[in-house]
Amino acid sequence: MIELDDVSYNYGGGELLSGISLTLPPGSFHFLTGPSGAGKTTFLKLCYGDLLPTGGRVSAFGKDMRDMDRDDIARLRRRVGVVHQDCAFLDHLSVEDNVALPLTVSGRDPQGEEANLNELLAWVGLSAQARSFPPELSGGERQRAALARAVIMAPEIIIADEPTGNIDWEMSLRLLTLLVELNRMGKTILIATHDLNLIRTAKQQVQARVLRIRNRDLQLAGADL
Ligand SMILES: Nc1ncnc2c1ncn2[C@@H]1O[C@H](COP(=O)(O)OP(=O)(O)OP(=O)(O)O)[C@@H](O)[C@H]1O
């Protein structure tokens, strides 16, 4: 589904990532961990096509990202939902309008999909905040709104960058429950996190592989986690 073949990445100051080969099969659950600055966000961006590798090949759904035209990229954006580290909401739009934004951008009418939108807001526990604005949300509510926005197009893959970075443990568990539910529905999940407790808790609920960035490459973390 997403495949990296001998991938390297260099922002210009030397290789940050090097020689990475990995397959993310459908329905898999992966965590990505590693020290700050190791390249986790960069790795995620390579997986969802925000960056192209400086060496090697990344392909998604059987197509090399380098060969994708605008239509392919638009299709990729629908099939891969991303929860960004900073959530990046439009503060002048309500929570429900922010969550519905991928629909609006792709030319669909959110009014026509209102039931779907309401169901999604209820699923993430934000029905009461639908008409609020992003600055009025707590950290945990922001992350759940970002997850709702990431899944509104029914993507097959969900990629989340430090989704529990700024929220308390109770909220982290709530978010993890949603991600586990998505995985049980067959979605492929990739999460970058520093939070080893989150990884340990997840591993009691799903079969998750833990990847660690070390010396510019990816290693499979052992059972010590
Ligand atoms: N656009 C950019 N241009 C140049 N260097 C960059 C750019 N983005 C990131 N870097 C550098 O690449 C390195 C890896 O950054 P990245 O954000 O991928 O790490 P990370 O593991 O996600 O870190 P953190 O855990 O702190 O979020 C850092 O040294 C960062 O300064």
Q: Is 212 touching ligand 1 by the criterion CB < 6 Å?
A: no
- pLDDT for 115 equals 76
How many whole angstroms separate alpha carbon 103 and alpha carbon 111?
Answer: 10
Query: Is the confidence metric ipTM above 0.90 for this complex?
Result: yes
pLDDT digits (tens, 9 = 90+) for 20-71: 999 999 999 999 999 999 999 999 999 999 999 999 999 999 999 999 998 9
With a cut of 90, say whether residue 94 has pLDDT above it: yes
Distance from the alpha carbon of residue 159 to the mean position of ligand 1, in angstroms: 17
For the chain, domain boundaries:
2-220
- Asked: is 2-220 a CATH 3.40.50.300 domain? The reply is yes
Distance from the alpha carbon of residue 41 to the mean position of ligand 1, in angstroms: 7
- pLDDT for 87 equals 82
With a cut of 90, say whether residue 107 has pLDDT above it: no
Distance from the alpha carbon of residue 43 to the mean position of ligand 1, in angstroms: 10
The band of 114, judged by pLDDT with boundaries at 50, 70 and 90, is confident
How many whole angstroms separate alpha carbon 119 and alpha carbon 17?
Answer: 40
pLDDT digits (tens, 9 = 90+) for 138-193: 999 999 999 999 999 999 999 999 999 878 898 899 899 999 999 999 999 999 99
With a cut of 80, say whether residue 111 has pLDDT above it: no
pTM over 0.90: yes
Question: Taking a C-beta distance cutoff of 8 angstroms, is the pair 66, 52 a contact?
Answer: yes
Q: Which of 52, 74, 73, 67 is nearest to 4 (CA)?
A: 52
Distance from the alpha carbon of residue 6 to the mean position of ligand 1, in angstroms: 20
- Ligand 1 atom with minimal separation from the 192 CA: 22
What's the residue count for the chain?
Answer: 225
Q: Please give the average per-residue pLDDT across 208-213, as a whole number.
A: 94
The band of 223, judged by pLDDT with boundaries at 50, 70 and 90, is low
- pLDDT for 224 equals 62
pLDDT digits (tens, 9 = 90+) for 193-202: 999 999 999 9
User: Average per-residue pLDDT in the chain?
Assistant: 92
Q: Is 44 touching ligand 1 by the criterion CB < 6 Å?
A: no
Residue with tokens 């609006």, as numbered in its chain: 104
The band of 225, judged by pLDDT with boundaries at 50, 70 and 90, is low
How many whole angstroms separate alpha carbon 194 and alpha carbon 179?
Answer: 17
Q: Please give the average per-residue pLDDT across 189-216, as a whole number.
A: 94
